[in-house]
Amino acid sequence: MSVLTEHAGASTGPQTPEPATVKAPSRAPRGVLQWLAEWWVLIPLALLLAWALLPGLFTGQDPITGVPADKFLAPSITHPFGTDHLGRDVYSRVVHGTSQTLMTAGLACLIGSVVGTLLGLVAGTAGRFADTVAMRLVDVLLAVPAFLIALILVTATEPGPLSLGIGVGIASIAIFARLVRTEVLRVRSRDFVQAALMSGGGYFTVLRRHIIPHIIGPVLALLAVDLGAAILAISGLGFLGFGAPPPTPEWGLLISEGRQYLSVAWWLTTLPGLVIVLAVMLTAALGRRINQAFRF
């Protein structure tokens, strides 16, 4: 007889009436609120993405042609970010410049993540010789600051968004390669991978079914963080004049144009700079959330 059965049979005294069962409230609203609390970072990031894809929905001002009579207007309801020295609406230029910056940063992240991931997979799975060669290449890339690599590659070619994205992307290959190699070596040592190999699983089959699904989380987290770093690097190179040529709006170019008027129009550099800082912080927070979601 189990312990629960013995206690049930021994109770001969007066029974205490059980309290009425209270129906538990639905957990659906709580789940939604909890999801929003954890993934709140997606809302402002979705706004930035909407700026890049549909800038006309957020501003009706011309980002290229200004009104000379409206130059150096302080931030107001009509001009939330004020106007510049040519009477152009700064908010409109920030919104329209989002697509230029994010597309270039996306190209950089695509190059860095794809090439770096392939290099890390080869280093972690193709044997000692491939590991040595790949890691020596990574060491060379890590020996030079990423911003300097991007600057050298951009100055060696024609300045512009394409060369800027390629330069920043090549500079980020090393961090993806190191991360992927580390994760592959960690996953390879687990029992289910060894069992798959001993049962006759092919190289690409084990790689596709057992290794890549377990390293995708850290790679996605690093991709989000690298997107913020790419935005910062591209804005810095655009500030130096290696980005989109004027009058095309681009975040780094906006700050470069406004630095000459800091004493009379602080908003020309401060407000676009705050947008850049916010974008970098949001992508870093997204990377942390992705890393926590895929942790096992």
Tell me the β-bridge partners of 83. 89
Q: How far is CA 11 from CA 1, 3, 84, 188, 255, in A?
A: 15, 13, 85, 57, 80
Write the pLDDT tens digit of every residue in 89-129: 999 999 999 999 999 999 999 999 999 999 999 998 888 89
The predicted model gives 279-295 an average pLDDT of 89
Instruction: Give the pLDDT mean for 257-278.
Output: 93
In whole angstroms, give the CA distance from residue 77 to residue 91.
11
Does the structure show a pLDDT above 90 at 157?
A: no
Q: What is the pTM of this model?
A: 0.83
The residue extents of the domains of the chain are 97-293
Give pLDDT, residue 16. Answer: 46
Q: Considering only the top CATH level, what class is 97-293?
A: mainly alpha
Cα-Cα end-to-end distance for the chain: 40
CA dihedral 164, 168, 170, 175 (to 10 degrees): -170
In angstroms, the CA 101 to CA 279 distance is 11
Token pair of 265 as six digits = 């129009």
If phi > 0 it is left, if psi is from -120 to 50 it is alpha, else beta; for residue 72 that is: left
pLDDT tens digit sequence for 192-217:
877 877 777 777 788 888 888 888 98
Question: 200 exposed, middle or buried (CB, 10 Å; 0-12, 13-18, 19+)?
Answer: exposed
Q: Does pLDDT of 1 surpass 80? A: no
